[in-house]
Structure formats: structure tokens, C-alpha cells
Amino acid sequence: MKPAPFVHHAPRSVAEAVGVLAQVGHEGKVLAGGQSLIPILNMRLASPAHLVDINQVAGLADVVVTGTEVRIGALVRHAQLEHHDEAYAALPLLRQALVNVAHPVIRNRGTTVGSIAHADAAGEMPAVLALTEGVVEAVSAGGTREIAVADFFEGALETSLGADELVVGVRFRRFAEGTGTAFMERARRHGDYALAGVAAAVRVEDGVVADARLSFVSVTDVPRTLDVTSAFAGQEHDAVDWSAAADLVAGAIEPDGDIHATAAYRAMLAAELSRLTLAAAAARSVALQQHPSDSEGPAA
């Protein structure tokens, strides 16, 4: 199938783009990488009358790393962020997650901000934004605003973004020094949407667990963070039974069954991936303390 007819707009500035969005309102869709939007248009699951193509807008393709965060513009492609060494050194979780996004050809075109704005709980990057307690930067003709990740995702493919607003960037908060991270997912075939996925961040201090958090892919209605520190705080990292998080995970996820997997199977997979990612993240935290210059720690 092909998309329904639409008017194509090609603004050259953010001001011009939000001006168009203000005029067309709910009749408009923003096009950046298009790896989620174009299939939806082709299948006519959406039929916007206006397509606002921001690919010619200047200043939206930068990655900026500071002491507290990694900021990416709306036109930063997955592959650009995946291979950005400074961003990797600051926040290894970005690359750990991005290598799981579809296939290289998709990552070469798709944008990380677009994936987040699409708000699909089966996407990897919304889960990363949740775990890093990130911020979404939105601009409209009326001004700018920052939206905390906890206030951004409202439901399946739904956000708090106004129809006249353009996401110009997102900021991933860097973890406390010494935090190890890991990301794992399982799919029926490489590149397919995950049956379940888990991101973990663990900080070990003086040999004991000080902080442990999770976020999920494909098993929650919206991306969210689960703090499991209470199950492990004060335990020696090399004696922890990470499967103790299973009950907390079970109470936090809401998997649905479909033709690919039952809800029970997704729940079991999420619990097992939580155990594995927590253990891997803890090992990286210990390695970071032993070798501070190694941002990754042991091999992924």
C-alpha cells in the first residue's frame, strides 16, 4: 500500500517548523528518520494531511556530552550515536541498547529522538531514557519547555506532547560515578521487536550493592524505572542472588500475549533477563572501580 495524499512541508528552521505545526495542528506529523512513521503511513494506520519534514532544519544533528548528561538533537541518527565515542565513554548504556535496534540499515536512517517521540514501549531507547531519568526538550510557537521522562509517556504510542510542539532534543542523565550498566533483549529473530528486554544500572560501593535499577522493553504499557535496591542493599556483590528481584519485576510489568509469545512467557523472560542484566551491571561496576578508564568494564 501507499500513503494517503498529504502536503509535504520542508522547513529550514525550528521557527518555521513550529509555525507550520501551529497552523496544521492534529492534521500534521513530523518526519525525521521515518523508520516508524513511513510504515504506518504506508499501511494507512495514520493519514495526516500534512507531513512536516525537518531533515533540512539546521542545528538538530549534534551530540553534546557534559559532566552530567548526554544531549542529542532530533536529527541524530541511531548509528551516529552508537558510534559516538565520547557519548559511549560518558554513558555506555546508549551503545549497549542501540546495537539491539533493528538492523544497521535502519540505524543509519532512524533517529533516536524519533524513536522516543514515537513512544513505543517495544522500543529500546524509550527504556534507556526512563532508566537515565532523561528530559525531552519541546518547542512550539508559544515557547519552549522541558518534559521529564516520567511526564512524557502517557500510553501506547501516546505522549504529553502537544500537536503544535516539536521535539528538538533529549537529554540522557549520566549515572553516578562507578555505576555499571547492561542491556539485554530476546527476539524471535535478530532485528525483530523484542519479546522482552531489560536495561539495568547497578552501583557497587566498598564491595556491597548500593543502588540497583531496571527498565523494560515490550512488557510495560509505558517505559518506566523499577528501583530494586531494597532487595539487595548492603549485600556483598559476589554473593548476591539476583533472582531475588523476580517478585519485584513481576509486580511492575504488564506483558500482553500475542502470536509471538504468551504473556506468561514474556513475564518469565523479563525476570530472567533482569537477573542476567543486574549481574552483568554489577560486574561492570566493580570493574570500573578497579579500572576507572574503562567505561565498559567486562565485555558485553
CATH number at residue 250: 3.30.390.50
**CA angle at residue 166 from 165 to 167, to 5 degrees?**
120
pLDDT at residue 295 in the model = 58
Same domain, 39 and 116: no
Within a domain: residue 124?
yes
What length is written for the chain? 300
Tell me, what's the pLDDT at 296?
53
Query: How high is the pLDDT of residue 189?
Result: 92
CA angle 34/35/36 to nearest 5° reads 90
Q: Note whether 274 and 214 are same-domain residues.
A: yes
- Does some domain include residue 58? no
Residue 74 included in any domain: yes
What pLDDT tens digit does each residue of the chain (300 aa) get?
789 999 999 999 999 999 999 999 999 999 999 999 999 999 999 999 999 999 999 999 999 999 999 999 999 999 999 999 999 999 999 999 999 999 999 999 999 999 999 999 999 999 999 999 999 999 999 999 999 999 999 999 999 999 999 999 999 999 999 999 999 999 999 899 999 999 999 999 999 999 999 999 999 999 999 999 999 999 999 999 999 999 999 999 999 999 999 999 999 999 999 999 999 999 999 999 887 766 554 434
Domain assignment present for 297: no
With 0-12 / 13-18 / 19 or more C-beta atoms within 10 angstroms meaning exposed / middle / buried, residue 140 is: middle
Q: Which domain holds residue 101?
A: 63-173
Asked whether residue 300 is domain-assigned, the answer is: no
The verdict on 68 and 168 lying in the same domain is yes
Nearest to 235 by CA among 198, 200, 202: 202
Residue listed under C-alpha cell 578508564: 293
Select from 117, 152, 173 the last residue of a domain: 173
Q: Are residues 75 and 148 in the same domain?
A: yes
> Domain check: are 47 and 22 in the same one?
yes
Residue 299 lies in a domain: no
Question: For residues 182 and 170, is the Cβ–Cβ distance under 8 A?
Answer: no
What are the pLDDT digits (tens) for 120-136? 999 999 999 999 999 99
Q: What is the pLDDT of residue 298?
A: 42
pLDDT given at position 299: 39
Q: Are residue 259 and residue 203 in the same domain, yes or no?
A: yes
Task: Specify whether 148 is located in the same domain as 185.
Answer: no
Helix (H, G, I), strand (E, B) or coil at 185: strand
The predicted pLDDT at position 196 comes to 98
Q: How far is CA 196 from the centre of its chain?
A: 14
The structure's pTM equals: 0.95
Residue 2 lies in a domain: no
The count of domains in the chain is 3
- Helix locations, 162-262, DSSP H: 246-252
In a domain, residue 23? The reply is: yes
